[in-house]
Structure 1
Amino acid sequence: MRRNVTQELAKWKSSVDRKPLILKGARQVGKTWLMKEFGKTYYRSYVYFNFDEEDSLSSIFETNKNPQRIIELLSLIAGEKIFPDETLIIFDEIQECPSALNALKYFKEKANEYHVIAAGSLLGTLLAQPKSYPVGMVNLLNIYPLTFDEYLDATDPALFTYYSGIEKGQQIEEFFHNRLLDSYHNYLIIGGMPECVVSWITHKDPAHISQVQRELIEVYENDFSKHNGKVNSGRILMVFRSIVAQLAKPNEKFMYGAVREGGRARDFEEAIEWLVSAGMLNRLYNVSKIEHPLAAFDKLDCFKLFVFDTGLLKCMAGIDNSAILLKTAYQFKGPLTENYVLQQLHGQFEVEPRYYSDRSGEIDFVIQHGTEVIPVEVKGGEDKSAPSFKRYIAANDPPYAVRVSERGYRKDGAITNLPLYLVRKMNQLL
């Protein structure tokens, strides 16, 4: 499968400021496959070391701090010579060996001609503690589930060719609009987890995908129970399992009392930070003003939490596939659509999206694009009604205002209507 992040990896390879690279992301988003595919495609060779499968590997890093000596020993283990600039060295599940994680700084300082890439489960939680890794000595790159365009490329290459050619202001023929909407609805069901996408390509069996999704959720929840850090694993599980109920509330704002009656911030804020750092949840902050720079107006005690993959959220909410495919107005449609939009917006803009609310209503997403701030209204169907959104536009006359819905790509006065399948191209089409 083609992954957009490969372009970032290619830039890293050729960068004069290259440092050892750490890939962050939830388990099963395709980090291992990505590293091996990158090594196979962009290098003369690659060598792969998994610290979870080979316990004895740790002793090499615990007893040696000289990267040249480490390279010699790794070459002996791999059974092949490791060439500077030509061999990609892959360290997987590196969280199992803190000495190896720390050794990355020696490669940066004394052997930067060797290209080193590392990844691991729950690595984000470790990297959230600066003492746990060589700060400033590594590059970091987030890996997410497949975005809609990647999913489309994998499942319908011909339609993806049309999709990738869509330009600003272009009229999209009804035939292609309907086909792209169908693919969008399928994506809500399948999501972007590589195993689910491969299952759909291979079997076209929705029941099998639901089974894979349930198994993945079980794997993640087992990871919480294995967590032995200072954060209580039971509280992590409680927060994770509360997300559907949190998003089902009228304003979707995260409420500690909805996790457990009488719950306070001090009870669950560490669990939330753990889940966000692990890449399991995406946090959307509320802002007090829709002004540049957005981060200056964050209300740190007011936020929403979304699941990192929309297909998994659909599974957690127990939404029947027929409700999505038959385009009925099911109860959880709004939150599921917003989860999808946030997932597609990841990485498009330098500043992560926010949302805004006051007594008169709410703006679903607020996006910083250069010095401009763009309000975005999200509709799960073709509905045009958005009183608070229209009031904001009338009062502030923003240079851009975007409504995301199932309607076609068109300009409606001051509002640009962007079909849901084009959210991934929002930056390009503004």
Structure 2
Amino acid sequence: MLKRKALEQMRLWKERAKGNEALLVEGARRVGKSTTVLEFARTEYASHILIDFAQAPRDILSMLEEYKNDLDTLFLMLEAYYRVKLRERESLIVFDEVQRFPPARELIKYLVADGRYDYVETGSLISIRKNVEGIVIPSEERRLEMAPLDFEEFCWAMGEGQLADLIRRSFEELKPLPDALHKRATRLWREYMLVGGMPQAVVSYVEERDFAAVDYVKRGILSLYLDDMGKYGNGDASRVRSVFAQVPGQLAKHEKKFTLASVDSSARMRDYDSAFFWLEDAKLVNVCRNSTDPNVGLGLHEDGTSLKCYQADTGLLVSQAFADSVEMLDEVYREIMLDNLSINEGMLVENAVAQQLKAHGRPLYFYSRYDRGNARGTMEIDFLIVRGYDNAAMKPRISPVEVKSTKRYGTSSLDKFRASFDKRLGTEYVLHPRQLQVEGDRVYLPLYASFCL
């Protein structure tokens, strides 16, 4: 059982909700929702019932519909069917893959009002029309999004929990790690980019240390996602698949903004809005949007026509990008690991940083401005986040984040951004392969410390 941060978030939910709301755990397929929820049920409750709507028999579905107004009878039947004794305020009922049976989700309102037990739902593609049509969405839901493992969780899985703690302390104290530990953390970060954070892939790597075996797992997950696009994409299936297929190529460009012309020369963003929505709702991509007037409240100035699209998991991005190299997998992975392969590594590094930010609940924004004829007014910042600023009594300020994949780089965009928006900004962060260094309000962080932001 992998140690997941979501488990602690579930425990906090139980403590705060006290039975007054259900928990809806969302996430991509194979991200570990059901496994983590079952561990939560096992460790935090006297008993539990799990109803898996991917394979629940018709009898169970009929019970939930027929006795929704007679909960006493419903609970007795569930106890008898699953051979589990439910105890008031000590038991949990789990609706697994709830999107496959929307009436169960609608029933949550009445189950929570009854108050006898706690309820957790898991699901993916929760918001698409097919999965909400004809039901009233319960207001008694608290949402928790589960992402693939972040780098800290990967460290835990690899038996490097103490190193992860030292990385976090280094970030908090702004003191670099000793060189030997820095090198170890850097190598672990490169392993993380190749393996990614899908639990099945991580377990395979922990047990076998075989990139080919890991890649086999990841390609199976990608195939599952492509099947889902065909099954649930409805009229948008072809556009969804086209956008998803273009992600590696778009990120390989120096200018990483998604260009629809690469999908269809006549494409318009309004025609592809629903495809991006589907991929975001399925948690298969992390969309980063342009905030044209960077200030606290980044979404208030969002340009919906200008975006970057990252793979939700960097390990899957690697397998997707090298789909034509199956016969040379060991060599490809080894060369990437040793930094010998001639690829745009910035694609993987920037995707991995986006994955860390998203895993910590940060909405993704960047800043881009092109001023024809005025190079001083042209700039692009990879990410914008909001953090408390030490020199302003920890009041929230914009922190620009630049990601560098090589040891030699420039910071002209960051310099121009500071000159343009100085009073709005707090600490600037440059994520790079080198050691931690501080220069006034600018902090140069090792890439492996990105999970701390």
TM-score range, shorter chain: over 0.9
Unaligned residue ranges in structure 1 (runs of 5+): none
Structure 2 match to 1:63: 66
SS across alignment from 2:104? helix
Match of 1:344 among 347, 356, 359: 356
Cα gap change, 1:268/1:262 in structure 2, threshold over 3 Å: closer, same or farther?
A: same
Shift of 1:303: 0.8
Q: How does 1:257-406 map to 2 (within 5 A)?
A: 257-318=261-322, 320-328=332-340, 330-346=342-358, 348=360, 352-359=363-370, 360-370=378-388, 371-397=396-422, 398-406=425-433
1:107-158 alpha-carbon deviations (Å, 9 max, x no partner) = 122x223111111343343699586452412111101111100000111234
SS at match of 1:195: helix
Q: Is the 8 A contact 1:25 1:123 kept in 2?
A: no
Deviates more, 1:273-282 or 1:328-337: 328-337
Query: How far apart, in 1, do the equivalents of 2:44 and 2:194 lie?
Result: 34
Question: Which residue of 170, 181, 187 maps to 1:182?
Answer: 187
Find runs of 4+ consecutive structure 1 residues off by over 6 angstroms: none
The residue aligned with 2:82 is 78
- The answer as to whether partners of 1:403 and 1:417 remain within 8 angstroms in 2 is yes
- Given that residues 126 and 132 in structure 2 are in contact (C-alpha distance below 8 angstroms), is that contact kept between their aligned partners in structure 1? no
Equivalences for 1:87-236 in 2 at 5 Å? Answer: 87-109=91-113, 111-125=114-128, 132-157=135-160, 158-166=162-170, 167-227=172-232, 229=234, 231-236=235-240
TM normalised by structure 2 equals: 0.88
Cα distance in 2 for partners of 1:196, 1:64 equals: 41
CA distance in 2, matches of 1:365, 1:289: 13
- Offset of residue 3 of structure 1: 0.7
Corresponding letter in the other structure for 1:200: Y
Do 1:126 and 1:132's aligned partners in 2 also have CA atoms closer than 8 Å? no
Task: Provide the C-alpha distance between the structure 2 equivalents of 1:331 and 1:203, rounded to a whole number of angstroms.
Answer: 26
CA distance 1:381–1:162, shift in 2 (3 Å)? same
Q: Which residue of 1 aligns with 2:374?
A: none
Is the Cα contact below 8 Å between 1:25 and 1:124 reproduced in 2?
no
Partners in 1 of 2:441 and 2:169 — Cα distance?
25
Task: Check 1:293–1:162 CA distance in 2 against 1; reply closer, same or farther (3 A cut).
Answer: closer
User: Kindly tell me: are residues 334 and 133 of structure 1, through their superposed partners in 2, closer, same or farther at Cα, counting changes over 3 Å?
Assistant: farther
Identity over aligned pairs, percent: 29
Aligned-residue CA RMSD (Å): 2.1
Which residue identity lines up with residue 358 of structure 1 in the other structure?
A: R
Q: Distance in 1 between matches of 2:12 and 2:134?
A: 28
- Give yes or no for contact 2:401–2:431 (8 Å, CA) kept in 1: yes
Distance in structure 2 (CA, Å) of the matches to 1:128 and 1:76: 29
- Choose 374-383 or 112-121, whichever is displaced more: 112-121
How many residues of Structure 1 are paired with residues of Structure 2 in the alignment? 423
Would the aligned equivalents of 1:364 and 1:376 in 2 still touch at CA under 8 Å?
yes
**Which sits farther off after the overlay, 409-418 or 324-333?**
324-333
Shift of 1:266: 3.7
Alignment partner, residue 16 of structure 2: 15
User: Which stretch of structure 1 is more off in the superposition, 236-245 or 141-150?
Assistant: 236-245
